[in-house]
Amino acid sequence: MNISLSIRLSTIILFLLFVGVFGQNPIVKKIVFIGQSKTKPYILKREIQHLKNVPLDFSLAEADRQRLENLGIFSMVTLQVFNQNQNEVVLRYTLIESWRFFPMITPIYDEKWGWSVGAMLMINNFRGRNESFSIQGQYGGQNTLGIEFINPWIAGDHISFQFGAGNNIYDHTFLPYDINSNNFQFGLGKYFTNEIRAKIGLKVIDRTYSNETITKNYQYVIPHLNIMYDTRDLYANPSEGIISANSIFYRLGIKGDKNNQLVWNQSTSYFKELIGGSRNMVAGVNLASLLSFSKNLDVWYDYLGGAYTIRGWMVPTVELYTNSDQSYRFGMNWITASAEIRQIIIPKFATKYNNEFGLSIAAFADIGTIDNSMSELIQQAPLIGLGIGIRIPWPVIKSLRLDYGWSFYQGKYVEQSLHFAFGEKF
């Protein structure tokens, strides 16, 4: 039996015995943490909502355990209830800290740009305060240099701070442009409840699109607002709950050329456990969209296909866009829907190297349309992708994902594609 599941079952059994023998919930006398070496104690304590010297509420104690795991800095978090005397108990959370330092030199893959060599110094759980700090650069399919700092709780009640700056040089995925982009951004966030949070921020971008005959330069100030409603039990691999993320941003041209753009991007997902246990089966559905309120500008065009929209369709190339054979895959507005069945084969566990490992398989179906006109989105014939995949838990990025899909359009098979990506599609 999986060690984490065994501990959880024994904890539940002990709790039931207390209630059966004494007729009431025992009193929580102490809450202790063991296993952490770098994490500051206050980082742990501020996630605990169960009070001391009150009757044990096991569901609340389990919710606290999930909050600790959702911090993303532990490979494993387990909860045990120990009998201190006849009617008092101790809650003990055992923690296994995940990797904090990541390789200085590593291969990097992205479907849009292929392989690159990355040099990176990333410190997860920086200073033991659940912060992350990274300096990174890469060379190859995409050339980048950047710095980023994130503190998810820098002050007050769940007030977060994020700062970043960088330079990216790359070829556009499907348009005939070389791109040189400089950016600076910062943001502040706030938890209003455990389920509702928001973030406001500002980004400044100087981006040049060029080829042998054309050079286009755009400079923008981009204020943005993100609002999220999240009731998932576990962020990395939820078995139940809803997450709805809405992002609204406005590109305001600094040069006064009136190339301004208002964009609303949203993604809403629902998860339901079909079979319980450590090897559970979960069904998930997702509805996502991007709507642009502006004039048509080719540098803002998007596409459907690849690991994060409609799987089974390859990421488009310049040649594909130019010959217009699949013009139905490009536009400024899109809407997609996805469904997945995820089955855990090997429950997540912490290895001797303090990283998590496991294995899940999934079956998926994706459907979506894209067009320059919002009014014509629902009139377009949809792109469809069907397939299967595997997921492997991994520190920080949550999972490594491999999906293989088959694509269909107007009732006809088009192509098949293998997608390697980081993190879930939804």
> Both tokens of residue 366?
């994706």
Region 362-375 average pLDDT? 96
Rounded Cα–Cα distance for residues 130 and 72 (Å): 8
DSSP 3-state of 13: helix
What pLDDT is recorded for position 356?
Answer: 84
Residue ranges per structural domain of the chain: 3-97, 100-158, 172-422
If one compares 221 and 102, the residue with the highest pLDDT of the two is 221
139-141-146-150 Cα dihedral, nearest 10 degrees: -130
Region 177-201 average pLDDT? 96
Q: What is the pLDDT of residues 350-368, one digit of tens each?
A: 888 777 899 999 999 999 9
User: Secondary structure of the chain: what % helix, strand, coil (to 5)?
Assistant: 15, 60, 30
CA distances to 16, 132, 266 from 191, rounded to whole Å, are 34, 19, 19
Region 91-112 average pLDDT? 87
Question: Is 392 in contact with 420 (CB distance < 8 Å)?
Answer: no
Q: Which fold has domain 172-422?
A: Porin (2.40.160)
Question: Is 202 in contact with 185 (CB distance < 8 Å)?
Answer: yes
Q: Which fold has domain 3-97?
A: Ubiquitin-like (UB roll) (3.10.20)
Lowest mean pLDDT among 80-89, 224-233, 339-348, 416-425: 80-89
Confidence of residue 74 (pLDDT cuts 50, 70, 90): very high
If one compares 352 and 303, the residue with the highest pLDDT of the two is 303
**Whole-number average pLDDT of the chain:** 92
Rounded Cα–Cα distance for residues 136 and 271 (Å): 35
What pLDDT is recorded for position 259?
Answer: 87
What pLDDT is recorded for position 394?
Answer: 85
Fold: same for 3-97 and 172-422: no
Which among 411, 410, 389, 414 has a CA at the least distance from the CA of 400? 389
If one compares 356 and 412, the residue with the highest pLDDT of the two is 412
CA distances to 236, 282, 284 from 274, rounded to whole Å, are 18, 5, 10
Per-residue DSSP letters for 264-324?
EEEEEEEEEEEE-STT-EEEEEEEEEEEEES---GGG-EE--STTSSTTSPPP-HHHHHHT
What pLDDT is recorded for position 6?
Answer: 56
Rounded Cα–Cα distance for residues 189 and 200 (Å): 6
Confidence of residue 7 (pLDDT cuts 50, 70, 90): low
What pLDDT is recorded for position 333?
Answer: 97
